[in-house]
Chain A
Amino acid sequence: MKSTNINYISPEKVGYFMFFQYLINGLSIGSVYALIAIGYNLVYGILELLNFAHGDVYAVGCFVTFSLILMKQNPILAILGGMLVGYIMNRIVERFAYRPIRFSGRVTPTISAVGIAYIMRNIIMKIWGPETYPFNIGLRGSKIEFGNFVFGTLQIYIFVIAISFMLLISFLLKRTKLGQSIIAISQSIPTSALVGVPVNRTISMVYGIGGALGVIGGILYCIYYQSIFLGIGFMLGTMKAWMSTILGGIGSLKGAVIGALVLGLTESLVGGYVSSLYRDAFVWGFFMIFILIRPKGLFPAQISEKV
């Protein structure tokens, strides 16, 4: 207990190092969630529609990337191909499944989205099967030992890619015409239609961008765990994105990112300290209590409540 010997790592110190290791793991998985959550939050902030299909649509894009890599394509080309598929898929889905019922209550579009999720999952299941495949994109991380901490360079790459996309999106929202029209629509659809914002096209674009971002997030996830399987869509995509969106605050970009990081950290710490068997149960329990205490999230968007 009183040991001051440097060579001897006391149990407390082991705990200390472990804590930092969990922290690093949590931040890197959180940054993957953040990318997925940004795309989700863009849509959610505009229409307040529970997009159950988000994860399964981008999972198709991820699997396309996987196939392209198997065909010995350039990895960057493959990722771009996957993004394109995610973009187009989400726009098609928006056109045929969401647009006609955009203003018919809350239950109807939600269930339609669940239908899309089912169709996408069945497509993946029929084409690629329910197995877990190894996913190797050629981006192999090496270890950096920094004192007693071990970083993977992969974790740093993921973090950097995630952060750069977040900056790109916030630039898009603040500085471009498209971004301004997205913000306008999220405040009021009729008013923005009156002042000449192309509502349908913008919403469709938002869905497309969300899908493309989701594909990147999904691919980063696959790189992190070096495997790809059906579950990256629903349980790891839609649910986590939704949880981080609500943790952070609906309709705010900063909120989605911070919510995702908090979610990643919670998962990592709960898995490390409380119980890895019951990890999901504890995370969901924590999350439910959080919603009850602070339903608006950590950083709610500065938009007046719609009546």
Chain B
Amino acid sequence: MDETVKKYTTRREFFKQYKKKSRLQETWNRFLRNKLAVIGLFIIVFIMLAAVAAPLIANYDTDAIRINVPDRLQSPSAKHIFGTDEVGRDIMARIVHGARISLVVGCAAIAVALFIGGALGAIAGYSGGKIDDVIMRCMDVFLCLPDVLLALAIVAAFGTNLVNLTVAIGLAFTPKFSRVVRSAVMTVRGVEYVEAARTIGATNTQIITNHVLINCFGPIMVQVTLYVASAILTIAALSFIGLGIQAPIPEWGNMLASGRVYMRDHAYIVMAPGLAIFLTILSLNLLGDGLRDALDPRLK
């Protein structure tokens, strides 16, 4: 008895080496071979960990918000790794708590864009014809304004709080996603399994959500990664010109804006926030490019 079980497991081990690797695994292996993409993944995971662990690194109320004038404008030291800002707050504490804001607002905005733009793009790409024309011409109009300006206009009209900002940036990125999803949907629209689903009586909604969108997941994820980078940059940009996240909430863009007055004598004050934005954008760009190459090896 014992022997047969043992034989069985060894036989399975034997066949395992001939088993075809799954597509996901192949993609993952290709991704791992791309050094830059792996570096990008490391950096963004590091930033995410810092954001999650922010309360452990520094207390939000006492270190990142409370004004502490006696400690103002201190150069980097062991106590304050990145120094202190113009009212004595620890820049390190504000950077890690700022990471939470940037990442959450950036991802939430792209979720809004993906939801609205994705729905519109899927409908346009799947139906084609007049519906496609109407939706896409509307989206083209929005694409005439750069996303910073569109977000600016929306924030100007509805005011600058966290929710409005998220929605504004989300809406500003909606047309881009509608195009991405539309073209992805159009590539799988005519394939056999969609025909098959229709033959067995699936509704249009079922076909779009269960068959079409699932198969467009890869290229859409690539764009999500790249656009989260742009969204985070847009948040920082709006905050930098004073129309985004308002002081005293720590955000990288508004830290740069308030620090720039003091940068002539205290250059370190603009280094850490700028570097944080730069590394986040860079890592997401590397990750997105890596994902694209891994998903579609022909492009390389």
Q: Does chain A bind chain B?
A: no
